[in-house]
Amino acid sequence: MESKEPMPLLTPHKLSPSLSLSHRIILAPLTRQRAYGNIPQKHHVTYYSQRASAGGLLVTEATGVSDTAQGYRDTPGIWTAEQVEAWRPVVDAVHAKGAAIFCQIWHVGRVSTFEFQPGGKAPVSSTTKGVGPQFTFDGRVEEFSPPRKLEVEEIPGIVDDFRKAARNAIDAGFDGVELHGANGYIIEQFLKDSSNDRDDEYGGSLEKRCRFALEVVDAVVKEIGGDRVGIRLSPFTDYMDCHDSDPHALALYMSTKLNDHGVVYLHMIEPRMAIVEGRRVVPKRLLPYKEAFKGTFIANGGYDREEGNKAVEEGYTDLVSFGRLFLANPDLPKRFEIGAEMNNYDRMTFYTSDPVVGYTDYPFLLE
Ligand SMILES: Cc1cc2nc3c(=O)[nH]c(=O)nc-3n(C[C@H](O)[C@H](O)[C@H](O)COP(=O)(O)O)c2cc1C
């Protein structure tokens, strides 16, 4: 029999002086490629409000900061007035349910092609090294165009795109932004030594590789305040050919440095899941970074109800974000509360365009 104590994931957590959460089950950012022409649609309102619960926190799908930030069909942006207006009803609907929502702001860097770039130009990056062909789960091969290495003088312009996007997010009503520093996109291209081969002030040493990320953090924090800025990092993954020869040193340096900027949360992705005695287990390698970072820590990657509760109970993390489980279970906090069965996710509809199928039609528990 389970004890009468509330489960750890369902206990409150104060994120900032003005934002108190009543549970610790966070919606992880999930690209769904249904923002036609880079504009959030009516179905975004439905999708996010379905996943909102009183005192919860949602993070949006990755959202482009400028016209050079794009690399995928129908991902939303937040650099034009039209995009800002289109986000507003999404935010309002989430707030109406008593939840908070952060916008994940994103620049793909070299994970793009000429077709996505203004004027058909080369995607920009830390490097001229391109991303190799990527094999998708449905058997396709994705190819990318060779990038152009940003000149030192151009880098402040990209930093400023993040700053403006953060301001736009606040104007749209978001509670804050999450800087996408994970999964092989521009911030990570600068952070990791497989993709940063620069020998100027933005590359070479660990400190110099982290400079771009920290300049973005600094600019965004100055613009909207540290209480409204989180950052996501994935030091241990090798997504989009981005890996580091010393991920521990990178993660520790960043977790420590972020304290100087008053960032409200650090959202970190676990190394890939391991199979131990036939069971998938979360590797739980992030504790040193949770301990180094003074704000709220969010762990992600392979968690379920049991592993999530254990991680919070042990003090391994403050909050846990759920990607695929939340995608398929809009009422995830309720299901965790009562120990209900889970809907299975359908990968084949992760990135399809339909406004309903595989998007807003995952069933709720019967009331
Ligand atoms: C369909 C899909 C889209 C994703 N899109 C994003 C994204 O936009 N930004 C991001 O940081 N991570 C993205 N991720 C990674 C997830 O946020 C998360 O790290 C990953 O699914 C592992 O967590 P989980 O085991 O709880 O699903 C995506 C994952 C999936 C499955």
Paired tokens of 207:
């400190």
Spatial separation of the C-alpha atoms in residues 313 and 318, rounded to whole Å: 9
Indicate if ligand 1 lies below 6 Å from the C-beta of 362.
Answer: no
- Residue 127 clears pLDDT 60, i.e. is over it: yes
Dihedral sign of CA atoms 319, 325, 326, 332 in order: negative
Tally of CB atoms within 10 A around 164:
17
Indicate if ligand 1 lies below 6 Å from the C-beta of 350.
Answer: yes
Distance from residue 5's CA to the centre of ligand 1 (Å): 31
Share of the chain above pLDDT 70, in %: 96
Among 273, 307, 322, 324, residue to substitute to test ligand 1 (most atoms within 8 Å of Cβ):
324
Average pLDDT over the chain reads 95
82 membership: H or E segment, kind and range: helix 81-96
Q: What's residue 140's pLDDT?
A: 87
Dihedral sign of CA atoms 258, 263, 265, 270 in order: negative
Q: What's residue 349's pLDDT?
A: 96
- Mean pLDDT computed over 194-216: 98
Give the residue extent of every domain in the chain: 8-349
What counts of helices (H) and strands (E) characterise the chain? 11, 17
Spatial separation of the C-alpha atoms in residues 166 and 327, rounded to whole Å: 25
Share of the chain above pLDDT 90, in %: 92
Indicate if ligand 1 lies below 6 Å from the C-beta of 77.
Answer: no
CATH number of the domain located at residue range(s) 8-349 in this protein: 3.20.20.70
Nearest CA to ligand 1 atom 1: 350
Q: Which residues are catalytic?
A: 185
pTM comes to 0.97
Q: What's residue 222's pLDDT?
A: 98
Indicate if ligand 1 lies below 6 Å from the C-beta of 103.
Answer: no
Q: What's residue 2's pLDDT?
A: 53
The tens digit of pLDDT for each residue in 304-357 reads 999 999 999 999 999 999 999 999 999 999 999 999 999 999 999 999 999 999
Among 9, 24, 30, 111, residue to substitute to test ligand 1 (most atoms within 8 Å of Cβ):
30
